[in-house]
Structure 1
C-alpha cells in the first residue's frame, strides 16, 4: 500500500484549520462578545473589552466618574455567567491619569495594604474616611463582597477605582527550598 503524501497533508491542514478556527470563533463570538455587550450595558461603563485565557476571563472597563464599581462587577458576573462558566472573572477598571488622585491614593496605600494583610476590612473604611477629612472635595466610598473590596475615589470630576481581591495569591513551594 502506497501512501500519498499530498492528500494526507492537505487533509491534516484542513482539519487543523477547521478545529482551531472553530475554537477561536467560539471564543470570540460565544464568550468575548457577549461579555463585552453585557459589560457595556451596565450603567457607568463607557467601554469594555474582554480577553479569555486558560486561567480565566479578564474584562477591561472604562468607567465614568459616577459608576458604582461593585455594581458593575456584580452585574457583569451575573449577566456573563453563561459565557464565563467555571472560569474566574477579573475586572480591570482603567482610569485616566489624575496626579492629584494618585497622590491621595498613595498616601492611603500603606493603611489599606496593612488592613488587607490583616483582614481588618473596617480599617479600609476608616482610612478612606480619614482621607476624605484630609482632602477637601474628595469623595471616597468602599464596598465589600465575598470576593473583593471595592474602593472608589472621586475628586473634581475625576475618579479612581481600585479592586482588591480578598483572597490573596497563595504562595507555592519554592523551587530552591
Structure 2
C-alpha cells in the first residue's frame, strides 16, 4: 500500500483552515460584536473595537468629553458579564489631551497618588475640585467603583479635548495610572 503525501497534506491544511476560520467567525460574531455594539450605543462613545482572548478583553475606545466610565464599565459587566467571565478588561482609550490638560493632570497626579497610596480616596474629589476652581474652562471629575478610581479631565471650550485615567485600587502607587478595567 502506497501512502500519498499530497492528499494528506491538503486534507490537513483544509481542516486547519476550517477550524481556525470557525474560531475566528465565532469570536467575531458571538463575542466581540455584542460588546462593540453595547459600547457604541453608550452615550459619549464615538467608536469601539473589541479584541477578546482567553484571558482578557482589550477594548479600544474613542470617547467624547465627560463620559461616565464607571457607569459604562458597570453596564458592560452587567450586560456582557457572561462573555467577559474569567477575563480581565483592558481599556485602550484614545488620548485627545492638550498641553493644558496634561499640565492639569501633572498638578493633580501627586495628590491623587498620595491619596491612593494612603487609601484616603475621599481626598481625590476635593483635590480635583480645587484644581478645577483654579483653572476656569476645564472640568475635572472623579468616580470610583470596587476596582478602580476613574479620573476625567476635559476642556469646556474644546469638546474633543479630554484625558481619561483609570487607577487600580489594588496597586495604587504610581501616578500614571493603568488603562485596565
Q: Tell me the TM-score range normalised by the shorter chain.
A: 0.7 to 0.9
* Contact 2:62/2:94, CA 8 A, preserved across alignment: yes
Choose from 155, 165, 168 the match for 1:165.
Answer: 168
Matched residue, 1:175: none
In the alignment, what sits opposite 2:80? 80
CA distance in 2, matches of 1:16, 1:116: 49
The structural deviation recorded for 1:105 is 0.5
Cα offsets for 1:46-80 (capped at 9, x unmatched):
11111123430011211122322211221222222
Q: How far apart are 1:150 and its partner, in Å?
A: 0.9
The separation in 2 between residues aligned to 1:124 and 1:66, in whole angstroms, is 17
Contact map agreement 1:73 1:91 (CA 8 A) in 2 = no
Q: CA deviation at 1:91?
A: 2.5
The structural deviation recorded for 1:152 is 1.5
Structure-2 separation of matches of 1:77 and 1:60: 16
Report deviation, 1:125: 1.9
Residues 34, 83 of structure 1: 8 Å contact kept: no
1:15-26 counterparts in 2 under 5 A?
15-26=15-26
- Select between 35-44 and 68-77 the one with higher mean Cα deviation: 68-77
* Mapping of residues 18-167 of structure 1, within 5 Å: 18-156=18-156, 157=159, 158-167=161-170
Displacement of 1:39 = 0.3
State the Cα distance separating 1:36 from its structure 2 match. Answer: 0.7
In 1, Cα distance between the equivalents of 2:67 and 2:117? Answer: 27
| Whole-angstrom distance in 2 between the partners of 1:121 and 1:151 | 12
Runs of 5+ in structure 1 lacking a partner? 170-177
Equivalences, count = 169
| Secondary structure of 1:163 counterpart | strand
TM-score of the superposition, structure 1-length normalised? 0.85
Structure with more relative contact order (C-alpha pairs < 8 Å, separation 6 or more):
2
- Contact 2:66-2:152 within 8 A present in 1 as well: no
